[in-house]
Amino acid sequence: MHDILSDVTQWIDQNEPVVLATVVQTWGSSPRGVGAKMAFTSSGKIAGSVSGGCVEGAVYENGLQTLKTRQSQLLHFGVADETAFEVGLACGGKIEVFVRRLDPGIFRILQAEIIGQQAVVIVSALEGPPDLKGKEILVTEAGKVEGTLGGGLDGEAVRFAIQALQEEQSQTFTLQTATGDLLHLFADVILPPPTLVMVGGVHITIALSAIAKALGYRTIVIDPRRLFGSQERFPHVDQLIQEWPQEALPKIKLTRSTCVAMLTHDPKIDDPALKIVLDSPIFYIGALGSRKTQESRRQRLLADGLSQAQLDRIHGPVGIDLGAKTPDEIALSVMAEIISVRRGRIG
């Protein structure tokens, strides 16, 4: 949702009806995963995608029909193995795309939650009784509920939504109505964008923050040394904190979507930061320095009471071994390692 948020906001501000298409199920290989979105208007404005370009035309045409009828649609796309590659669905891949007219009221709440760095889940009725199909409920991380499915199903739907939010995983589920009909629903979990916290405003940080920003990460730079952590050096980051890490980090929400890179080589800056982040749920901790520097750091932190298990979380020397030499190349190797860890490719 993050990649289309600004476009959709502009269209809603201009009072244009918006169609939102969401991938709700995939089989085999598919270019986009569950939760991928495309938004568009009848005037031909388009943002995002639901495939590698092979089904967007059909989704758009069906979406125009949805605008006219206000009836949501669940679209099924799949191709035979021998023709799959040509249209972008490799190895006979199949996808289901849910197309609905975007509710401006629901969107405004969603927009506020995303801007506030909060997780949210939208439960949509995909298939079932005509009077329920297309209805949706939004549930925020704080437990606020907006919208209704009707038919006495809201309570159970909200419980499924909270479970999906806790698991941080979009998923489909089925409820039975009072009349015995089955209602198929999709819990679309929208998490805050991943955040990269960089401790130290060094040359590598300049390149790393630019790469991370291009990949959709929220970027934060911490450095008490105003010469290094200056606005002139980092005009593009989302947040620049000119404080010591022990003062700055408690002000940042450290979640499972957060990663941290220590880049100063200075124990006065890196060590206090490590003591804080090693006791948090963040998914990646990297620290710049040679193997000798890493070992010296470990011994200091062990002496300060940190456990071996905590120190084993540190990726150091930081980055994937690409043979990197320049600051830009090192930044690329660090970002590659962050992505690999986030996607479960390396531990």
Q: For residue range 160-186, what is the model confidence (pLDDT) as tens digits?
A: 999 998 888 899 999 999 899 999 999
Q: Which of 142, 165, 190 is the last residue of a domain?
A: 190
Residues 123 and 260 in one domain: no
What percentage of the chain has pLDDT greater than the value 90?
A: 65
Clarify whether residues 20 and 85 are in a common domain: yes
Regarding whether 172 and 229 lie in a shared domain, the answer is: no
In this predicted structure, the answer to whether residue 81 has a pLDDT above a threshold of 70 is: no
Q: Is residue 324 assigned to a domain?
A: yes
pLDDT of residue 330: 95
Q: Are 144 and 108 found together in one domain? A: yes
pTM here is: 0.73
- State the pLDDT at residue 326: 94
pLDDT of residue 134 exceeding 80 = yes
Asked if residue 194 lies in contact with residue 119, where contact means CB atoms within 8 angstroms, the answer is no
**Stretch 148-161: mean pLDDT, rounded?**
91
- Tell me how many domains the chain contains: 2
Q: Please give the pLDDT value at position 239.
A: 95
Mean pLDDT of 8-29: 89
Last residue of a domain, one of 190, 216, 235: 190
Residue 129 forms part of a structural domain:
yes
Would 279 be classed as within a structural domain? yes
pLDDT, residue 116, reads: 83
Residues 38 and 171 in one domain: yes
Angle CA(66)–CA(1)–CA(184) in degrees, nearest 5?
Answer: 55
Domain at 222, CATH number: 3.40.50.720
Residues 26 and 155 in one domain: yes
Mean pLDDT value across the chain: 89
Query: Is 80 exceeded by the pLDDT of residue 6?
Result: yes
Beta bridge partners of 172: 186
Do 47 and 61 lie in one domain? The reply is yes
Residue 132 shares a structural domain with residue 29:
yes
Using DSSP's 3-state secondary structure scheme, residue 109 falls into: helix
Range of the domain at 234: 195-342
> What does the pLDDT read at residue 205?
96
Same domain? 186 vs 205: no
The H-assigned helical ranges of the chain are: 5-13, 56-69, 81-87, 104-115, 154-167, 203-214, 245-248, 267-277, 291-303, 308-311, 327-342
Out of 166, 190, 214, a domain closes at 190
Within a domain: 109? yes
148, 87: one domain: yes
Looking at the structure, tell me whether residues 77 and 218 fall in a common domain.
no
Q: Which residue has the tokens 């990726």?
A: 315
Nearest in space to 260 (alpha carbons), one of 325, 194, 324, 312: 194
**Omega before 129 cis (within 30°)?**
no
**Is the pLDDT confidence value at 91 over 90?**
no
For residues 329 and 279, state if they share a domain: yes
Q: Classify residue 28: in a domain, yes or no.
A: yes
Region 265-271: mean pLDDT is 90
In a domain? residue 347: no
Question: For 68-91, what is the mean pLDDT?
Answer: 67
Indicate whether 161 belongs to any domain.
Answer: yes
| pLDDT given for residue 257 in this prediction | 87
Is the confidence at residue 85, as pLDDT, over 50? no
Reported as a pLDDT band with limits 50, 70 and 90, residue 83 is very low
